[in-house]
Amino acid sequence: MKSPNLKGEIMFGPIMRFKVGDLFIEMAPIKREDMPSFIESGGMQKFEVTKYLGRAIAPVLEDEYEWFDKCRGDATTVCWGIHVVSDEKRKLIGNTSLNGINREVMPYATSGCLIFDQNYWGKGIAKHCHRARTWYGFTQLGLVQIRSAAYDLNIGSQKALESVGYVPVFHERNFGFVDGRYIGMTSYNVINPLKDQWRMWWHGDPIPPEYDSALKKAKSALRWAEENISFG
């Protein structure tokens, strides 16, 4: 696998292609004309899609254009559209990103992933996008830590994060209100498993056992990316 040539600040990540089962997935920059895809056939306007995103309202097309313009001009964000490729046609089904990239002290960012097309839920796509995004953040951006979070009832997101080495850091009670009740949110982080960054993070402190287990998962995620991702 040949790594991309990175120059300057990046708001959209480079094309990364891989297979998930029988599906061909492409993580690639989003175009402004892609914005209608976010709300076509319901999409981001469906309650089941947005209920665990911390938002109680449905966006309209103008909101998606506004989000795109904001993302395109944000030098602290790297964003990809998630596409299913079939017969040379690309269908946008979601997006994933590294947000709030901070290079002070130990570089870190916060990750996010959304599949708005419910036809592609439960197929392992988010898990593999986490792997690709984690590889990029750790090996190309030099991040030491990536953070994320998931609501208590969003079991799928929790499992996808933990599968690539994210560890629960703390839990906030009553963080959101869904289906008539208050629910909590768990914050996670994954530490760069590369030797220098791993040592930098712990700098001689005792390593909690849950991070020893997470180290193996993070290394496995990077290894999978090295072996399975191709670049456009």
Q: What is the DSSP string of the chain?
A: -PPP---S--SBPPPEEEEETTEEEEEEPPPGGGGGGGTTTSGGG-HHHHTTTT--S---HHHHHHHHHHHHT-TT-EEEEEEEEETTEEEEEEEEEEEEEE-SSS-EEEEEEEE--GGGTTSSHHHHHHHHHHHHHHHTS--SEEEEEEETT-HHHHHHHHHTT-EEEEEEEEEEEETTEEEEEEEEEEE--SHHHHHHHHTTSPPPHHHHHHHHHHHHHHHHHHHH-EE-
Q: How far is 38 from 44, CA to CA, in rounded Å?
A: 6
Q: Please, what is the average pLDDT of the chain?
A: 93
Residue 8 confidence (pLDDT) above 50:
no
Residue 34 confidence (pLDDT) above 70:
yes
How much is the pLDDT for 1? Answer: 53
Residue 81 confidence (pLDDT) above 50:
yes
Residue appearing with tokens 């996670």: 188
What is the set of domains in the chain, with CATH numbers? 16-231 (3.40.630.30)
Give the strand pairing for 230-231 and 16-20: antiparallel
How much is the pLDDT for 6? Answer: 41
The residues that bridge with 118 in the sheet, in sequence order, are none
How much is the pLDDT for 57? Answer: 84
Selection from 111, 114, 97 nearest residue 44 by Cα: 114
Residue 55 confidence (pLDDT) above 90:
no
Confidence of residue 93 (pLDDT cuts 50, 70, 90): very high
User: Model pTM?
Assistant: 0.91
Instruction: Give the tokens for residue 207.
Output: 């390593």
For residue range 180-191, list pLDDT tens digits in order: 999 999 999 999
The percentage of the chain sitting over the pLDDT mark of 90, rounded to a whole number, equals 83
How much is the pLDDT for 87? Answer: 86
Residue 2 confidence (pLDDT) above 70:
no
Q: How far is 18 from 26, CA to CA, in rounded Å?
A: 7
Query: First and final CA of the chain: distance in angstroms?
Result: 11
For residue range 117-170, list pLDDT tens digits in order: 999 999 999 999 999 999 999 999 999 999 999 999 999 999 999 999 999 999
Q: Phi first, then psi: give them for residue 24, nearest 5 degrees.
A: -95, 120
User: What mean pLDDT do residues 173-182 have?
Assistant: 93
